[in-house]
């Protein structure tokens, strides 16, 4: 059975009074962002709480591996917790994967929300067949429910399935693709290739973004996907925002390099999609069956179903 044949499990929609855990599986965070996000979540009628070690610090991390695992494992196994929002990314979620993988979560799935390094947790959920949300975290949630991306995130948590529309790019390749939406931060998911948490699956729509990675390093990862045969097996590709890189002698834009890397294939490619380490970061339902429509000189769309 291919990944395209698997029916994903959606956690139950959030209702008034539901508990939401805010945890920090990776880097440490300024407490003001978390407390501001708590107020926004409370305004939605939910009951957020901050994990025991979510505001801690151990080197660059929010806590030791044991402390970070404590917060996340308690949230995953507490039946009163219906969603888990990661405070920030950074680096460190990969430390927890082997232990988290041993927790039986399929019988009581919860929403997991975050992006960047949290792509490792989305990979964990994809392995379990449970959808999760690649979406803004506490610093962005603190902007309030009127922010369009926060409003879209909250609607997903309440059980709605989103449709996103965005402008086409001159680097796009038109077409229509349907399959599970899998991916996240490219550096994170590349390091999971060949492990049980590999999300680059045949028949999937791969979505990728990154920050401060040189063009040649991104190209090197894409060559790995080409040489392994993984790229040829994709149903589609969504390229989000690659920020903080510099032009090199071969390419001025990251999109130029990626367009060259995917030129041997015929699957649709949407470039410059608004997600990643940018203010406009649309929430994507990782693991969900998705239709990607890419047009020429018009509006592209992502439909979750």
Mean pLDDT calculated for residue range 147-172: 98
pLDDT for position 6: 72
Q: What is the pLDDT of residue 50?
A: 98
Place of tokens 């039986």: 104
Nearest by Cα to 138 from 17, 30, 25, 52: 30
How confident is the model over 23-43, as a mean pLDDT? 98
State how far the Cα of 218 lies from the Cα of 190, in Å rounded to an integer.
10
Averaged pLDDT for residues 47-61: 98
DSSP element (H, E) containing 75 = helix 65-77
pTM of the predicted model, to two decimals? Answer: 0.97
CB 205 within 8 A of CB 229: no
Instruction: Judge whether residue 129 has pLDDT over 70.
Output: yes
Say if residue 1's pLDDT is above 50.
no
* Residue 117 structure tokens: 């390094």
**pLDDT reported for residue 151:** 98
Average pLDDT over residues 175-189: 98
Helix (H, G, I), strand (E, B), or coil: what is residue 104? Answer: coil
Using alpha carbons, select from 206, 178, 215, 61 the residue that is nearest to residue 122.
Answer: 206
Q: What is the mean pLDDT of the segment spanning 71-89?
A: 98
Contact 301, 273 (CB under 8 A): no
Please give the structure tokens belonging to residue 69.
């695992």
DSSP state of 58: B
């Amino acid at each position: 059975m291919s990944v395209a044949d698997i029916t994903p499990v959606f956690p139950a929609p959030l209702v008034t009074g539901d508990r939401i855990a805010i945890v920090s599986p990776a880097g440490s965070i300024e407490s003001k962002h978390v407390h501001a996000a708590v107020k926004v979540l409370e305004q939605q009628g939910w009951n957020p709480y901050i994990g025991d070690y979510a505001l801690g610090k151990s080197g660059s991390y929010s806590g030791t591996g044991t402390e970070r695992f404590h917060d996340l494992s308690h949230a995953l196994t507490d039946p009163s917790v219906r969603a888990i929002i990661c405070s920030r990314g950074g680096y460190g979620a990969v430390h927890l994967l082997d232990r988290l993988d041993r927790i039986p979560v399929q019988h009581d799935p919860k929403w997991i929300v975050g992006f960047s390094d949290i792509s490792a947790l989305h990979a964990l959920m994809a392995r379990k067949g449970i959808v999760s949300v690649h979406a803004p975290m506490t610093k962005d949630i603190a902007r309030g429910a009127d922010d369009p991306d926060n409003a879209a995130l909250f609607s997903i948590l309440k059980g709605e399935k989103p449709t996103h529309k965005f402008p086409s790019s001159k680097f796009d390749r038109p077409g229509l693709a349907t399959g599970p939406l899998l991916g996240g931060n490219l550096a994170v998911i590349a390091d999971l290739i060949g492990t049980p948490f590999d999300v680059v699956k045949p028949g999937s729509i791969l979505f990728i973004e990154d920050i401060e990675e040189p063009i040649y390093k991104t190209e090197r990862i894409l060559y790995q996907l080409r040489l392994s045969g993984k790229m040829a097996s994709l149903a589609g590709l969504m390229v989000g925002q690659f920020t903080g890189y510099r032009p090199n002698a071969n390419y001025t834009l990251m999109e130029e390099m990626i367009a060259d890397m995917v030129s041997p294939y015929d699957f649709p490619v949407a470039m410059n999609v608004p997600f990643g380490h940018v203010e406009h970061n649309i929430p994507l339902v990782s693991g969900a069956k998705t239709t990607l429509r890419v047009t020429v000189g018009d509006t592209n769309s992502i439909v979750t179903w």
